[in-house]
Amino acid sequence: MSSNSMTNYYVKKERKLLKDFNSRLDLAKTFLEETFKDENPGKFITQMNEEFVRYLPKIPYLGGFKNPFTQILVRCVSELAIFRILEKNGLSFLEIGEFHYKFNLAQHIKRREALKKANKNPSQYPFEPAYVDYQRQLTKETQERVYPDNWVMDFIDGNGIDFEWGWDIYQCGVQQAYKILDAEKYLPMICLGDFYEAEGLGFGFSRTETLGFGGKKCTHRFIKNTQAPKAWPPYDLEEYNAEFWKE
């Protein structure tokens, strides 16, 4: 794929990416109505769409959607559009963080109910052998560093007591993109989303440090039969670093 094609990869997929973004923004309408009492939430959603489209040419190319990290990257860049529009409409850093927590948790609760309807236990999905094997292989592939802005990470085997398995992440694709978009102050909010997923689905999760809070790596650990710590507000988390929390 040529350099020009890579630059325009996300632009060419604008319609699909906006469709996916708006399917998630449907859940945001309630929180927009709560936040902006007398305003039509559609106004903010239109602004978020326009903001997201502006970012598309700047998103790093990771090999397209054959790389599962591309979906994570695009989703997190779309969340930046939410952050920026909330900020432009007068919300403080903490108010944006509160909105992000509620919005993310609602998405994971919806996902939890869908898993239950499919007769799956939401709290066990990170521990299914096929899923763990897939993550082990995917982690190995990141070490080949085919795309300079991709994730780079190690798979960590647990002992079944302290944790089942985890990652040590040395480079994060979201951090790479947020640097390009001059948005690093919002990176800790993206990091907190890992805890929101664990809270919504009901599995155990811990982390001692993360790149978004100035750590040298992200130490994700998945733990069976326990609850993840409450991550909003984040002040009691071990990874929390006030220097990187730009209130």
Average pLDDT over residues 62-87: 97
User: Rounded CA gap, 53 and 10, in Å?
Assistant: 9
User: Rounded CA gap, 198 and 229, in Å?
Assistant: 9
Average pLDDT over residues 161-188: 97
Average pLDDT over residues 16-26: 97
Pairing of strands 165-171, 152-157: antiparallel
> For 187-216, how does the pLDDT look when each residue is reduced to its tens digit (9 = 90+)?
999 999 999 999 999 999 999 999 999 999
pLDDT for 4 beyond 90: no
User: Rounded CA gap, 104 and 118, in Å?
Assistant: 21
Average pLDDT over residues 86-100: 97
> What pLDDT does 1 receive?
44
Q: Cβ(202)–Cβ(123) under 8 Å?
A: yes
pLDDT for 178 beyond 60: yes
Average pLDDT over residues 214-233: 97
> What pLDDT does 6 receive?
62
Sheet holding 152-157, edge to edge: 152-157, 165-171, 218-223, 204-206
> What pLDDT does 2 receive?
36
The kind and range of the H/E element at 157 are: strand 152-157
> What pLDDT does 247 receive?
81
Give the single-character DSSP code of 2. Answer: -
Which is nearest to 47 in space by CA: 25, 23, 30, 76? 25
Residue 185's contacts (CB-CB under 8 Å, 6 or more residues apart) are 93, 246
Average pLDDT over residues 85-109: 97
Confidence of residue 5 (pLDDT cuts 50, 70, 90): very low
> What pLDDT does 7 receive?
65
Confidence of residue 134 (pLDDT cuts 50, 70, 90): very high
Percent of the chain with pLDDT over 70: 97
CA distances from 105 to 7, 29, 32, 165 (A): 33, 14, 15, 23
Between 14-35 and 68-88, two packed helices, what is the crossing angle to 10 degrees?
40
Average pLDDT over residues 163-186: 98
pLDDT for 218 beyond 80: yes
Which is nearest to 131 in space by CA: 45, 68, 53? 68
Alpha carbon 17 to its chain's center? 16
> For 101-111, how does the pLDDT look when each residue is reduced to its tens digit (9 = 90+)?
999 999 999 99
Tally of domains in the chain: 1
User: Rounded CA gap, 66 and 243, in Å?
Assistant: 37
* First-to-last C-alpha distance (Å) of the chain: 42
Average pLDDT over residues 3-14: 76
Helix and strand numbers, DSSP H then E, in the chain: 9, 4
Residue span of the structural domain in which 103 resides: 3-244
